[in-house]
A = this chain, B = another copy of it.
Amino acid sequence: MIEDRLDRQLTFLTEIDALKSVIRQSHLADRSRRENAAEHSWHLGMFALVLGEADPTLDLAKVVAMLLIHDIVEIDAGDAPIHGAYDAVALAQAERAAAERIFGLLPETQRDRFLSLWREFEAEETMDARFAKALDRFQPLLLNILTGGGTWAENGVTEGQVYERYQPAIERGSPALWSRARALVRRHFAAARD
């Protein structure tokens, strides 16, 4: 029974190695290549540890766990670029199926806990999930600023579109972070106009 449990856990841990090969749109800060979803998830874990530490209303361990698992569904469903067109309903369905399959590799009690954590993140209703979502939106914004526009420059994204696509999630999860993000975005587009 314990052996079987470990078998299932190692099967899951082996399967998720594939997240290292899911390529996102964001460029690394040094512009050497695009980021993959596994290292993005690590970076977000660090964002949570650093930026969430001072907030006693957060369950920081839960936020970190959410961020470590939040993109695992992309192993099956792929990464949907924020600036591209995609079928949101079909994507949500593919992600739900992916969550069932991949977390389903785990022992049942763990499968249920991970599924519940992933659904909490996706629902954006709890403060923990909203803070996690804010970081997931802020991190690529920061990488775009650091790389002279990054995916915004590549996709001809305007300053107004940046506010549309980033402000709701970041502001809802962390007004202070949005205040900083907005200042960074303004400065970036002002410099680009000069």
Q: Which residues of A contact B (CB under 8 A)?
A: 2, 6, 9-10, 12-14, 16-21, 28-30, 32, 35-36, 38-39, 41-43, 45-47, 49-51, 53, 60-61, 64-65, 68-69, 106, 110, 113, 142-143, 146, 176, 180
Q: Decide: B39 and A20 in contact? CB cutoff 8 A.
A: yes
Q: Which residue of B lies closest to A12 (CB)?
A: B50
* Min distance, Cβ A111 to any Cβ of chain B, angstroms: 11
- Which chain B residues lie closer than 8 Å to A28 at the CB level? 17, 20-21
- Which chain B residues lie closer than 8 Å to A68 at the CB level? 42, 45-46, 49, 64
Sample of 13 A–B contacts (CB below 8 Å): A6-B176, A9-B50, A9-B51, A13-B46, A13-B50, A17-B29, A18-B30, A39-B42, A42-B45, A42-B68, A46-B69, A50-B110, A60-B61
Q: Decide: B21 and A53 in contact? CB cutoff 8 A.
A: no
Q: Once bound together, how far apart are the Cα atoms of A47 and B14, in whole Å?
A: 10
6 extra interchain contacts, Cβ-Cβ under 8 A, other than A17-B43, A38-B39, A39-B42?
Answer: A13-B46, A20-B28, A20-B39, A20-B43, A53-B113, A64-B68
Q: Once bound together, how far apart are the Cα atoms of A50 and B10, in whole Å?
A: 9
- Which chain B residues lie closer than 8 Å to A176 at the CB level? 2, 6
State the oligomeric state as a number of copies.
Answer: 2
Q: Which residue of B lies closest to A9 (CB)?
A: B50
Q: Decide: A142 and B42 in contact? CB cutoff 8 A.
A: no
Q: Which residue of B lies closest to A68 (CB)?
A: B45
Q: Once bound together, how far apart are the Cα atoms of A23 and B36, in whole Å?
A: 14
Q: Indicate whether A65 sits within 8 Å of B38 (C-beta atoms), given known contacts A32-B21, A180-B6.
A: no
- Which chain B residues lie closer than 8 Å to A20 at the CB level? 28, 35, 39, 43
- Which chain B residues lie closer than 8 Å to A39 at the CB level? 19-20, 36, 38-39, 42
* Min distance, Cβ A151 to any Cβ of chain B, angstroms: 15
- Which chain B residues lie closer than 8 Å to A10 at the CB level? 142, 180
